[in-house]
Each structure stands twice: as C-alpha cells, then as structure tokens.
Amino acid sequence: MKNLKILMAAGALALLLAGCGGGNEMTAEEIKEHKGSFSAGASVHDPSIYEENGTYYIFGSHMEAAKSEDLRNWKSFATGVSKNNPLFDNLFDEPRKAFEFVGRNEEGGYSVWAPDVIYNEKMGKYMMYFCTTSTYKRSTLCFATADNPEGPYTFQDTILHSGFTTADAKNKEQIFGDVNFDMRKYMLTGDYNNLQWPNALDPAVFYDENGKLWMVYGSWSGGIYLLELDEETGYPIFPEEDQENEVDSYYGRHLIGGMHQSCEGPYILYDEESGYYYLFVSYGGLTADGGYQIRLFRSENPDGPYVDANGENFGLNVEDHTEYGLKMMGNYTFPSLPYSYLSPGHNSAFMDEDGKLYLVYHQRFSDQGEVHEPRVHQMFRSQDGWLVAAPFATQGETLREEGNSSKELAGTYYYVNHGTDISSEVHEAEELHLTSGGKIEDASGKNVGSFSTEENSPYITLSIEEEEYQGVLVDMEDEAGNPVLCFTAAGESNQSVWGVKYLAQEES
C-alpha cells in the first residue's frame, strides 16, 4: 500500500522543515497571506475505503464511487441511483428484491445508502454490503458480489430488515426467510419499536484477529449492533439469545446507543499494535448546521464491551449522550483555512502496510451549503492507546521523533479544543504560547497550564485548564501547503485538542 507520491511529499516536507529549523514562525499577517485549501475532485457521501495495489477506492451513499492514488485527488467512476450506473449490473432487475420490503422513498425514488466493500478470500469475491431504506426506520441490509473492486456488483440477497409493522405479519417469510422469529418481540403498539431495536442501516464489515468475519451496523433508533457473518456464504450467523449480555437472536449484540439518540455510521478497525478494536461512530445531524462529528470507543474484543476515554459505555438508557465517546473532531477553523470546516463524519478507516492509520470521512464547509468532499487524515496512537487525528489532510506527514525539548517546541500555537458539544458551534482556533520553561500561556500571557515531552520521542502531555491530554507531535503541511508543527492529543474528558504552529517558509 505504499504510495510513491506520499513518500516523495514526506521527503520534501522533511527537507523544508529541516531548512527552517522548526523554530522560525509565520506572523499573523503572513498566515493571512498564505490561506488555502484544495479540491478533492469528487463528492462521495459516507465514504468507505478499500485499497488494492496502490489504488484507493471509496464507495458512498447514492451509488457514488471514486478512486485515488494519493488520498487527496479523487476521480469518480460511478454516480447516481440508476440502472445506468455501472456499479451494479442487476440491482434494478425485476423483482427488485433489494427494495421489495422498503419500497420507494418519499421522493418516489429508491434509496441506496452506505456501502462497504471487503475482499472475501473464501468466496474469492469482492463483497459489498449496503442498505436500502424508505423511512427513518424501515430499512433493509443487502449484499452483492463482484470480481473486481470497481464492479460491476451483482446483487445477491437481503439479510436483515427493520421497521416492520403488524401489517407485515402476513409476509413474515419475506422478512425473516425460513428462520422463525417472533415479530411481536420487536413491536410496540402495533409498530416497530425503534427506541429499542436498530435501524438496518450503515453496515461495515471487518475481520477480527482470529479471522472471523463480523458486520457492525445501525443508525439512531436502538443503537449500534454487531452480527457475525458466515465467510463461506456472506450471510449472518444468528446467535443464541442472551439478554444479560444484550444479545438478540435476530439483530445480534447491542454495542452502544439507543432511544433514537444520534449515533450512526459505525466502523470497526482492529489494530494489532495496540490490541484494540476501535469503534467509530458519528453523532449529530449530517447537514452543514447539524453538528455532525466523529466519536470513538474501543474494546479488547470484537463484540465489546466498547468504552470511551473515560471508561464509560454509551448504554441503551443513557439520557444525554453528549459526554460519551471520545470526540475526535467536529466543526473547526484555523487561520490559514479560507473557511470553516463543518460536519465531518460517517467515516471509515484503514491501516497501510507500514502500520500507519488513516481516517476517511466526508467534510462540509462554511458558506458552501451542503457541498461535501472526502478528506483523509492520518491517525496516531497516544501513550495510552487512543487514536488522535492529524489536524490537516494527509500529505506525507511524519511524527517528530528527534529533539523535542521544551525550548525547541516553544512558540505560538493556534489551538482548537473540539469539546463534547453536539451543535452548529464552530470551534475557532485561539492563540496559546508554549514557553521554553514548559508552561502554557494564553494570548494575554496568563498561565493556563503546562506541557512535557520525552527527548527523541513524539509523545507530548499537555495540562490545559486542569485537563490532561496525551498525544503526539507531527510535522506536516496544512491545506494551503504551509509547513506546520502540530500536536494532536486526547483526554479522559473525551475531548480532543489540536495545536498548530506555523513555520516560516524559506525564500527561494
């Protein structure tokens, strides 16, 4: 999965940073003169990533797909919910089984959302799991297969349904197949009890450390659930009922969420180095003003329990989920960005062959309506095994592993605390000063904390306003191409913090 362009950029960036010594800084006026961003060249909502032979593929809702060789520039190869879309070869053939249960959406068309692609070695096929839906709770999980990552994918079957009512009882076989489930268990006054049971949306598939295949899924409603899959067939392995451990015989194990609180787009990544399974989800509303954001939980087992940085599980009966889950990022802005970055979310993640971790999501922007683009940020492991994201899109960034005395790190940083709010508020960067004596001061010179590092180590610990954060130091470029020194860290308060020091550029 090595990418030559990224490696070349890393080398160029290292030379640039070495030339400026990492100490000289841009002035505020110079930063204003060096604002900028970049266009990804494609728009894919809910991007799920798959890599093969140095090419990265992202698949998203509405049958959108694009590919890239550098994780920044994307080229679309499929778009639009239509039989003319080359992504599928039979999805709209009669009897249109993928839509048989859900029907058409409110606009009179069909909704095809949130695909995830994985290669199944036992079947020798690329597997796409996706969902169809028509209301906020009536949904179907489906799967399709292909011989190439770009498709065409051949629809195979539906595997799970939600949102059924007593009127569907006469078609029970259509919903459950030849497996005998008691529909009444999932009903409340004749309708589907979506406060307790999941919406069959947003599937994501992963292998655990022992080679077992799992599918995590769910959106708002009764929360996020997990089912084991039969690798030889692609179908779910329905478990035995275990109410004490929140295992349902149809929907599987309940992991987090419920009571129709915002929680969707689950994705689980296993990291052999840390030994953790990381569960990513998105809170808030997905629109530009909806407060969409990325949260993180982890577990030592694929089926949980999953806890946040405070050691808490987001259970079914939590009344306010704001404080649950490490908030990796939300709305933010830095002085070199021409606009605020809004509503990042519905992410996937992957590890390259060098063990580097990456976060893949869609991003909206202030003053641009609902326009969105894919973004990819590198992630790093903190001292205590939490994942923290680089503040800017990947471009050959590296951990700063040499030196790192307080004197070398001293200077003005533009600081963002993502907080734990679920709102349209934009967290604007504010000035912090790291002193050569290891203190942290605000723009007025008031002492607000301290920091410490280890010599020749990328790790940094910051204490800011009595909250402690652990993270790493990263040399990278911002989205305008400016060299920057960053810290990215997470705290037990479930807040992530970023700091950016703009380094002076050498004159040519």
User: Is residue 117 exposed (0-12), middle (13-18) or buried (19+ Cβ within 10 Å)?
Assistant: buried
Annotated catalytic residue within 25, 46, 64, 70? 46
Identify whether the C-beta of residue 193 lies closer than 8 Å to the C-beta of residue 162. no
Instruction: Tell me the backbone φ, ψ of residue 478, rounded to 5 degrees.
Output: -80, -175
Which SS3 state, helix, strand or coil, does residue 175 take? helix
DSSP state of 69: S
477 is catalytic: no
Distance of CA 108 to the CA centre of its chain: 30
Identify whether the C-beta of residue 145 lies closer than 8 Å to the C-beta of residue 234. yes
> Which amino acid type is present at position 407?
K
Q: Which residues pair with 128 in a beta bridge?
A: 117, 144
Annotated catalytic residue within 264, 308, 373, 475? 264
Distance of CA 135 to the CA centre of its chain: 24
The three state secondary structure string of 362-378 is: EEEECCCCCCEEEEEEE
> Which amino acid type is present at position 493?
S
- Tracing tokens 């990492």 back to the chain, one arrives at 22
51 is catalytic: no
Distances in whole angstroms, Cα of residue 169 to Cα of each of 193, 195, 395, 465, 481: 15, 20, 54, 58, 59
Check residue 36 and give left, alpha or beta (phi > 0: left; psi -120 to 50: alpha).
left
R_g (Cα) of the chain, nearest Å: 23
The first and second tokens of residue 490, run together, are 């997470």
From CA 19, how far away is CA 26, in angstroms rounded?
15
DSSP, residue by residue, 100-112: TTT---TTSS-EE
What are the residue ranges of helices labelled H in 279-370?
none
First to last CA, the chain: 34
Half-sphere exposure of 171 (CA within 13 A, CB side): 10
From CA 381, how far away is CA 386, in angstroms rounded?
6
Which SS3 state, helix, strand or coil, does residue 74 take? coil
Q: Which residues pair with 204 in a beta bridge?
A: 216
- Tracing tokens 């993640």 back to the chain, one arrives at 349
Which SS3 state, helix, strand or coil, does residue 62 take? helix
Which SS3 state, helix, strand or coil, does residue 287 take? coil
From CA 13, how far away is CA 476, in angstroms rounded?
7
Which active-site residues does the annotation give? 46, 264
